[in-house]
């Protein structure tokens, strides 16, 4: 089975109604994705597809972990990710320009009526990238073994809670100290 087939949904002869699929995105999938952010990970994607004539609505629930550099200490961590995406496709060969624009506006992906297999891999790649949070840290204190580099965290004072309250660069606090509050 080729990679494209592995992440495809067979549309030919697909009956009306609800269909469920499950795809596993692994290291090979992400290595082939060739993105700059991560190349290793393990994500399960559960798809619920509702077919109504030529229109197919898909709900894709992605859940798993991706390997990225921790924003706090710099070591590679398995960052948990989870998100739900929608994808609507329509098999239609004779849409007018106007109808095409309308569907595009509504986020409907137009595909040919003769398409036998719908390859999801590009969309799975895009969704996986969208799941990467801007801040790559998570609540990992309770994990065994602890994934972060404690030496680095020690050096940046991560374990000292008073650092946050006592040290401030905000000049507003200095100004406030000088205010004489009326009794
Ligand atoms: Zn860390």
- Express each pLDDT in 72-123 by its tens digit: 899 999 999 999 999 999 999 999 999 999 999 999 999 999 999 999 999 9
Rounded CA-CA distance 83/115 in Å is 28
**Closest by CA position to 119, among listed 2, 28, 14:** 2
Residue 146 in this model has a pLDDT that exceeds 90 = no
Length of the chain, in residues:
183
User: What is the distance in A from the centroid of ligand 1 to the CA of 103?
Assistant: 44
User: What is the distance in A from the centroid of ligand 1 to the CA of 67?
Assistant: 12
**Closest by CA position to 80, among listed 17, 4, 133, 134:** 133
User: What is the distance in A from the centroid of ligand 1 to the CA of 74?
Assistant: 6
- Residue 148 domain-assigned? no
- Residue 159 domain-assigned? no
User: What is the distance in A from the centroid of ligand 1 to the CA of 24?
Assistant: 27
User: What is the distance in A from the centroid of ligand 1 to the CA of 72?
Assistant: 5
- Residue 170 domain-assigned? no
What is the pLDDT at residue 82? 96
> What is the CA angle 80-44-78, rounded to 5?
25
- Residue 163 domain-assigned? no
Which range is least confidently modeled, 14-18, 65-69, 124-128, 141-145?
141-145
Q: How many independent structural domains does the chain possess?
A: 1
| Extended beta strands in the chain, E state | 8-10, 17-25, 41-52, 55-69, 76-91, 108-111, 117-119
What is the pLDDT at residue 29? 94
- Residue 35 domain-assigned? yes
Chain segment 148-172, per-residue pLDDT in tens: 988 888 888 877 765 444 445 555 5
Question: Is the entire prediction scored with pTM above 0.85?
Answer: no
User: What is the distance in A from the centroid of ligand 1 to the CA of 37?
Assistant: 17
User: What is the distance in A from the centroid of ligand 1 to the CA of 167?
Assistant: 22
- Residue 134 domain-assigned? yes
% of the chain surpassing 90 pLDDT? 66
Chain segment 3-50, per-residue pLDDT in tens: 667 899 999 999 999 999 999 999 999 998 888 889 999 999 999 999
**Contact status, residue 76 vs residue 83, Cβ threshold 8 Å:** no
**Which domain, by its residues, includes 134?**
3-139
- Residue 59 domain-assigned? yes
What is the pLDDT at residue 166? 46
- Residue 117 domain-assigned? yes
User: What is the distance in A from the centroid of ligand 1 to the CA of 76?
Assistant: 8
Pairing of strands 108-111, 76-91: parallel
18 DSSP β-pair partners:
50
**Closest by CA position to 122, among listed 5, 21, 33:** 33
């Amino acid at each position: 089975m080729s990679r494209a087939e592995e992440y495809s949904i067979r549309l030919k002869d697909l009956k009306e109604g609800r269909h469920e699929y499950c795809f596993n995105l692994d290291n090979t999938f992400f290595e082939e994705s060739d993105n700059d952010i991560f190349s290793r990970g393990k994500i399960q994607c559960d798809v619920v597809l509702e077919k109504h004539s030529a229109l197919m609505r898909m709900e894709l629930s992605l859940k798993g972990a991706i390997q990225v550099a921790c924003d706090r200490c710099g070591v590679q961590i398995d960052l948990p990710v989870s998100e739900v995406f929608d994808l609507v496709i329509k098999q239609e060969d004779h849409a007018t320009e106007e109808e095409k624009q309308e569907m595009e506006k509504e986020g409907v992906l137009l595909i040919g009526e003769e398409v036998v297999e719908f390859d999801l891999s590009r969309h799975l790649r895009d969704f996986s990238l969208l799941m990467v949070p801007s801040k790559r840290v998570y609540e990992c204190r309770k994990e065994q073994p602890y994934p972060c580099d404690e030496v680095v965290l020690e050096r940046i004072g991560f374990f000292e809670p008073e650092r946050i309250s006592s040290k401030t660069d905000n000049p507003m606090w200095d100004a406030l100290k000088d205010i004489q509050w009326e009794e």
